[in-house]
Each structure stands twice: as C-alpha cells, then as structure tokens.
Amino acid sequence: MKIGIIGAMDIEVKELISSMVDIKKETISGIDFYQGKLEDKDVVVAECGIGKVYAAVCAQTMILKYEPDIIINTGVAGSLSTELRIGDIVISDGVVQHDYDASPIGIPAGMISGVNLIKIPCREELVKKIFKAAEILEDTNIALGTIASGDQFICSKEKKDFIANTFDALCAEMEGAAIGHVCYINNVDFCIIRAMSDMADGSAHMDFDAFVEIAVEKTILIIKNFLRN
Ligand code: ADE
C-alpha cells in the first residue's frame, strides 16, 4: 500500500517531509515529489502549488509515476459554516468545483462534463478511517461533508454564502476538488482533510499566517495517526 499526500503550500507539507526517512526527491513539471517512509508506511508527498491546475497536474503525475493506492490532500480552508470555527476540521465525503459553470449552454452550474457529476464522492471506507484517525484531536470540532474548490481565495460574505448555499459545502479551498476529479477518472481513492484557517468572509480579526500554522499542525496529526493505524 502506497499513500500519496498532496499539499499546496510549503507550510502544509514541510513537517511531513521532515518526518520521513529513506527520502528520494524528484522534480517533475516544477513540482517536488518526495518518496520514502512515514510512520513505517510507503508514501509519496508533494507540494503542488496553489490552485486547481497545479493540483491536477500534481495528482495526475503522482498517479502515473508513483502509482499510489490512495491520495490524501491536506491543508487549510476557509469555513463556510457558523458551526466551524478556526482550527476545526473538515473531512470530505465529496468535492465540488464552485467555479465550474457552463450554465449558459444548459449544463447545471458545477456539473463536470464527462463524469456528469456536481459532487465527486469519496469512498466511504476511506473517509471513515480518516474520520476515526481525526478523533485523536482534542477540543476540535470534526465535520464530514462537501468541500468546495475554485481558483479564488474566498473573502466576502456574498461569495461565501453563494458557495455554501449552492453546493451545501462546509469549507472552501483551491485544490481539493481538482485532486478529487483526477483521482475519480483514474480510479484512485481520495480524501481531503482541511483545517479552518479563516472564516472566508474577510472578517477583521483574520490573521491568516498565524492561524495557518495552528491549523496545519492538526491535519498533520490526523495523517500520522491514520498512517499508524
Ligand atoms: N484556503 C484557506 N482559506 C481559504 C479561503 N478563504 N478561500 C480559498 N482557499 C482558502
């Protein structure tokens, strides 16, 4: 069993990479891939860059070159729910692309052509295992639901409400659904784990850099616990 792990930013994967042993690094299309062992399991970890195109290139390359059995996408997200505060966790049961919109030609907003789905589902068995691994966190709300991705950092109430209401999504980020889409068409199981770093509405108290560090630590703990079990 080999597990692929993708994060968009250096801060989202650097702790995982520094915990790995027997590391071999390769750079493909400008993306660094680190193969090795983490918690005694075979892993390949990559930092893809921000946005859906980088995420898709990374996932497709990882699948073709390293053949992972599953891919986990880790990182931070903006909360779309009043129930989810900074530091809380969302685990995907499926992903949507909130900026995929061919509705002027009669295709429902968000419907991905070819696969004909708005929400690309994760496999329940994997999601359950990751949810269980997340129970290691104390004082943290862990939610299961839809994660929405698009090539925009969401920071207005209008946009936040649009995504939450149209797609019934719990949080917004910029890569997960692209990775899910690539995994789905390649028959690779996937799951997205995101810690809330902001409220996606530009609220005055937002201090993104400070919250990212706290949030990322939690997703790393979940991944390590998942690998151990
Ligand atoms: N990643 C973290 N916060 C985000 C937000 N508000 N919108 C998109 N991606 C994010």
**What is the per-residue pLDDT across 2-61, written as a single tens digit (0 to 9) for each?**
999 999 999 889 999 999 999 999 999 999 999 999 999 999 999 999 999 999 999 999
C-alpha 223 to ligand 1 mean position (Å): 20
Considering the candidates 47, 173, 198, 201, report the single residue annotated as catalytic: 198
C-alpha 165 to ligand 1 mean position (Å): 17
b/e for 14-26, b at 16 or more Cβ within 10 A? ebbbeebeeeeee
Predicted pLDDT at 212: 86
Question: In a mutational test of the pocket of ligand 1, which residue from 52, 86, 154 has the highest number of ligand atoms less than 8 Å from its CB?
Answer: 154
By C-alpha distance, which of 197, 200, 104 is closest to 150? 200
C-alpha 40 to ligand 1 mean position (Å): 32
Predicted pLDDT at 142: 97
Q: What is the DSSP letter of 187?
A: T
Predicted pLDDT at 204: 55
Predicted pLDDT at 203: 86
Mean pLDDT of 180-186: 98
Residue 198 a catalytic site member? yes
- Could you give the angle at the alpha carbon of 151 between the alpha carbons of 210 and 65, nearest 5°? 95
Q: Quick one: 2 exposed, middle or buried, by C-beta within 10 A (0-12, 13-18, 19+)?
A: middle
Residue 161 a catalytic site member? no
Could you give all domains of the chain from N- to C-terminal order, each with its CATH number?
A: 2-228 (3.40.50.1580)
Ligand 1 atom nearest residue 160's Cα: 6
- Verify whether ligand 1 is closer than 6 Å to residue 70 (CB atom): no
Tokens 């042993």, located at residue: 21
In degrees and rounded to multiples of 5, residue 133 shows phi and psi of -65, -30
**What is the per-residue pLDDT across 65-82, written as a single tens digit (0 to 9) for each?**
999 999 999 999 999 999
C-alpha 90 to ligand 1 mean position (Å): 13
Q: Is the pLDDT of residue 219 over 80?
A: yes
Give, using CA atoms, the residue closest to atom 1 of ligand 1.
Answer: 77
From the CB of residue 151, how many other CB atoms can be counted at a distance below 10 Å? 14
Predicted pLDDT at 211: 83
Mean pLDDT of 103-115: 95
Give, using CA atoms, the residue closest to atom 2 of ligand 1.
Answer: 77
Tokens 């983490």, located at residue: 38
Q: Is the pLDDT of residue 205 over 60?
A: no
Question: For residues 148 and 169, is the Cβ–Cβ distance under 8 A?
Answer: yes
Secondary structure (3-state) at 144: strand
**What is the per-residue pLDDT across 90-104, written as a single tens digit (0 to 9) for each?**
999 999 999 999 999
Mean pLDDT of 125-130: 98
Ligand 1 atom nearest residue 174's Cα: 9
H/E element, 78: strand 70-79
Q: Is the pLDDT of residue 201 over 60?
A: yes
**What is the per-residue pLDDT across 134-181, written as a single tens digit (0 to 9) for each?**
999 999 999 999 999 999 999 999 999 999 999 999 999 999 999 999
Predicted pLDDT at 206: 58
Considering the candidates 12, 93, 173, 201, report the single residue annotated as catalytic: 12
CA–CA separation, 223 vs 171, rounded Å? 19
